[in-house]
Amino acid sequence: MCDRERGWSEVPLVKTWQLIAGSAVAGLALSAAVVATSGPWDSGQRKAERDRAASWTRTGGADHAAGGLPQAAPSAPGVLGVLAPRPDAGAGALAGALAPLLADPALGTARGASVIDVATGRVLYESGAADPMKPASTVKIVTASAALAALGPEHRIRTTVAPGAGPGEIVLVGGGDPSLTAKKKSPAGSGGSLVALAADTAQALKAAGTDTVTLGYDDSLYTGPVLHPNDVGRAGNIAPVTALTADEGRRDDSTAGTAARTDDPSGDTARAFAALLRDRGIKVNGEPGKAKAPAGAQPLATTLSTPLAGLVERMLTNSDNDIAEALARQTALAAGKPASFEGGEQAVTEKLASLGVDLKGTRFLDGSGLNHEDRVTTRLLTALLAKAADPARPELRPVLTGLPVAGFTGTLSGRNSGTSPAAGLLRAKTGTLTGANGLAGTVVDPSGRLLAFAFLAGNAPVKESAEKGLDKLAAAVAATS
């Protein structure tokens, strides 16, 4: 029985773990096109979802033995086929459904739309699809695609501790891990751990007969401005972008959304690390200061980020600006360019060009979409979504698996929910910025075709009304064959 027949929309207040367990048993229809291909899928279930399910309490997941420790939800059986062309029902009905919705004044004075059949590449509907528009957070699809193409889904980012230049000196070296945490167990999920790094460092120091150190920190991997120019008045959308930041510089226990941020993420991370060393019997003299690890120094200890696939999924699901800017800089480093806003733009542009997509009129001044001068086309967004579904591009698959699910997860948890024909079937990245709204993702239509869509709206008078208009467009794609 497919999920449309099961009636996801009739289940009230479905929790994320229920969605995970349900997809493990039945396999959500939106996954149908890519499950059997290689990549970060495990028979249709995201690695990040399994990791998160395994970390919850005994009652939080599926298939947990009575009284036992939490285990990952079981993987879906391989019952869904690879991407294959479906009978083409034609584009007339879709155009008839979308054209009047796209004319809604709530969408503002500029609109772009693109819908394609992923299996065949056939354009089913376009309107202003080649017009460069302000993408807001839909640009994170661009950032994710470039980072995955440059580094691969299994890449991990290192944070290390190295010997310093003098006796008794050690240096905490930032590698730009956006998942780094100073908490014993981060509610955000797996990632680099300062706690584990401190334990390993203390063990190495004691083995060498050292119990007193001077701690420095090295965040020189990133260059250029650390403040995002469009986080107006430090609104809490993003922390200062440095190569050494724990818990995204958040001053509270939040893991997503806006929050008060530290002005000195590198220094705060080093001070937290010093406290962790002291807790483990290592005396740290004075306050940590900036230092440079000697070239070629062998690390005393290392902690690794969650794999890039997991970072991409977390970024897309929660629209995480901090991860987005980190991934743009990691793309720059892979290309041998400065890890800065400017270097990120150059590297992302070059990597996308190597994928063979049309970049005419586009601009990527940041990785997050906070910059009002960013420009994309809806044609570019659907092209990248189609690339991510291509069996020949398994490294790009997290671009699809990370998209929020309508009515269930992330930034779509409250949109296209309930009785909407898109609930549970549509995955999409949202975009919201003053003067810009967007929605881009994938959906399986009633005839079984996997479609990629992108809708951008500019100069909309009311954000909430624009979002409703975009949701109606996406629901029409889901309901029309």
Catalytic residue from among 9, 31, 134, 140: 140
Q: Which residue has the tokens 């890519």?
A: 34
| DSSP H stretches of helix in 181-226 | 194-207
Phi, psi of 288 (to 5 degrees): -65, 140
Tell me the one-letter amino acid at 100.
P
Q: How many whole angstroms separate alpha carbon 93 and alpha carbon 479? A: 10
Q: How many whole angstroms separate alpha carbon 303 and alpha carbon 287? A: 22
Catalytic residue from among 31, 114, 137, 179: 137
Element (H, E) at 441: strand 436-444
Phi, psi of 317 (to 5 degrees): -60, -45
Length of the chain: 481
In the annotation, is 179 catalytic? no
For 187, the token pair is 């509610």
**Directed axis angle between helix 16-26 and helix 47-55, to 10°?**
120
| DSSP H stretches of helix in 280-356 | 308-318, 321-334, 341-354
Catalytic residue from among 114, 145, 319, 368: 319
Q: What is the dihedral of CA 210, 216, 218, 224, to 10 degrees?
A: 180
Phi, psi of 139 (to 5 degrees): -65, -15
Of the candidates 447, 438, 470, the residue with the CA atom closest to the CA atom of residue 142: 438
DSSP state of 454: E
Tell me the one-letter amino acid at 92.
G
In the annotation, is 9 catalytic? no
Q: How many whole angstroms separate alpha carbon 28 and alpha carbon 426? A: 10
In the annotation, is 137 catalytic? yes
Degrees (nearest 5) of the Cα angle 126, 368, 329? 120
**Catalytic residue positions, numbered:** 137, 140, 319
